Structure 1
């Protein structure tokens, strides 16, 4: 069985600006799947962003394409290996033209920060304590002598 690849389609009002932003985060652009309507942003060998002009994205659906500056349709989160790596990718994203819409969230077992690309698409970067991944947040925090501050659905 081959590995599943993930292609996330994101709308943009300015394709050149989006390409520069994602390259600023350290991702590459696959020129074979990039033209005046879309850019293929390579996150790793199985994860890709297709940054599409709003008009072109509209050809894939009969639904209205929301403006990510004013409406959240999705939030995509990526893990990092440490809090420092979360802060480092955020620094790159802010330097590349992104914004941080809210302060860092520290739940004791998980540290996360949100980054909005120049179009307003939300990217989350987080670090979770490995023991919390294995035990669950409540058990991890109980072992630390703390109460759970985990977000609830």
Structure 2
């Protein structure tokens, strides 16, 4: 079984833990320490939130400033429009900033926000009707 680990640099591990906990995510302690949080999205999908100093150990070059430039858009599927809107509301209440207006394109509905480190998260519901 294949897994995916999305790696994102963060400025403050404790703040990231608090933010994503408020959105309802849990963390795998086996892959977490004082500089790393393994946020579980689904059984085989994890987001590794790495303190910037730890993230630098894995890259060549500089860390991009996610508040100014975008390198990746992380999109999570939602079971309903309501779930997408609810998760967006939780993110905004926890300190996220809005990113783009809600999008409706045929069977797709999406909302988005920037987390406290500037990373963009899209929440998408794709109707199967």
Normalised TM-score (structure 1): 0.80
Q: Secondary structure at the match of 1:23?
A: helix
Q: Which has the larger radius of gyration?
A: 1
Work out which structure has the larger RCO, using CA pairs closer than 8 Å and 6 or more positions apart in sequence.
Answer: 2
Aligned residues: 129
Structure showing the higher strand proportion among its residues: 2
| Cα shift readout 1:105-144 (whole Å, capped 9, x = no counterpart) | 112321111121110111100111214xxxxxxxxxxxxx
Taking the aligned partners of 2:79 and 2:34, their CA distance within structure 1 comes to: 35
Displaced runs of 4+ in structure 1, greater than 2 A? none
Partner of 1:81: 79
In structure 2, list runs of 5 or more residues that go unmatched: none
Q: Secondary structure at the match of 2:46?
A: strand
Structure showing the higher helix proportion among its residues: 1
Partner of 2:45: 47
Partner of 2:65: 67
- Over the aligned positions, Cα root-mean-square deviation in angstroms equals 1.2
Counterpart among 106, 109, 129 of residue 108 in structure 1:
106
In structure 1, list runs of 5 or more residues that go unmatched: 132-153
